[in-house]
């Protein structure tokens, strides 16, 4: 990214102001990146733990697959998923609270004995699956924010701050050269005037 500037004091002051803003903001952005990096790691660990737990529960579910053929799937329905929004390092992420289920009444006497346990197991599986989705969404949002923050840190550190430094140095050199040329020209004019006056 080329920084556009003019060789004058106004441009120099503007560039110095821009540089100061970036130098002052850089530590804050680095801290945010560090916080997001640790949050992403924590979210990945939580998601992996939740996925492993869900898969082990699904294996237990698969062991009774023959029984599930006679289960009435309309008995259980997810009514509502309660969630809150939390800010983590400036990023709004969804946080899972609870799932509200509605259970259709069924006859305990005419249904198999294991239906009640089956409903409890299905509730647990559904809740884990929903919680897993929330965790995946949280991870995606945090990862995206971390990437953007890392890009901003790199932009400031590797492009803009060195670019502004370089532009300021060029303007200062130009102005010094111009001043030296002006002084030299004044000396030449004075020496010519002195030479003409002495004739």
**Residue 4 falls inside a structural domain:** no
Question: What is the model's pLDDT at position 58?
Answer: 81
Question: What is the model's pLDDT at position 67?
Answer: 61
Instruction: Write the burial class of residue 160 (CB in 10 Å: 0-12 exposed, 13-18 middle, 19+ buried).
Output: buried
Specify the residue for token string 């002495």.
198
Question: What is the model's pLDDT at position 26?
Answer: 94
Structure token digits, residue 55: 């898969």
Question: What is the model's pLDDT at position 101?
Answer: 85
CATH number of the structural domain spanning residue 55: 1.10.287.3240
**Residue 186 falls inside a structural domain:** no
**Domains: count for the chain:** 1
- Judge whether 109 and 6 are in contact, CB under 8 Å: no
Question: What is the model's pLDDT at position 112?
Answer: 65
Question: What is the model's pLDDT at position 156?
Answer: 93
Whether the pTM exceeds 0.85: the reply is no
Question: What is the model's pLDDT at position 72?
Answer: 67
**Residue 192 falls inside a structural domain:** no
**Residue 23 falls inside a structural domain:** yes
**Residue 48 falls inside a structural domain:** yes
Question: What is the model's pLDDT at position 105?
Answer: 77
**Residue 189 falls inside a structural domain:** no
Mean pLDDT by 10 residues, the chain (199 residues): 82 93 94 94 94 86 65 77 88 88 74 71 86 93 95 93 92 90 87 82
**Residue 60 falls inside a structural domain:** yes
Question: What is the model's pLDDT at position 165?
Answer: 93
Q: Choose among 147, 36, 29, 150: nearest CA to 89.
A: 36
**Residue 193 falls inside a structural domain:** no
Radius of gyration, alpha carbons of the chain: 35
Question: What is the model's pLDDT at position 68?
Answer: 59
Q: Which domain holds residue 34?
A: 9-181
Phi, psi of 23 (to 5 degrees): -65, -40
């Amino acid at each position: 990214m080329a920084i556009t500037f003019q060789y004058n004091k106004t441009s120099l002051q503007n560039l110095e102001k821009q540089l100061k803003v970036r130098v002052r903001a850089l530590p804050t952005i680095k801290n945010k990146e560090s916080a997001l990096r640790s949050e992403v790691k924590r979210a990945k660990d939580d998601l992996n733990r939740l996925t492993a737990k869900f898969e082990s529960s699904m294996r237990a579910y698969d062991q009774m697959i023959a029984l599930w053929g006679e289960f009435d799937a309309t008995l259980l329905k997810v009514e509502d998923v309660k969630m809150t929004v939390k800010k983590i390092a400036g990023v709004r992420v969804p946080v899972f609270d609870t799932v509200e289920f509605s259970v259709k009444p069924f006859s305990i006497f005419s249904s198999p004995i294991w239906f009640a346990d089956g409903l409890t197991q299905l509730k647990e599986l559904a809740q884990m699956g929903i919680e897993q989705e929330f965790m995946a969404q949280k991870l995606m949002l945090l990862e995206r924010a971390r990437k953007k923050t890392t890009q901003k840190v790199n932009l400031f550190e590797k492009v803009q701050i060195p670019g502004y430094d370089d532009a300021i140095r060029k303007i200062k050199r130009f102005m010094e050269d111009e001043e030296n040329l002006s002084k030299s020209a004044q000396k030449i004019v004075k020496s010519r005037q002195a030479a003409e006056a002495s004739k």
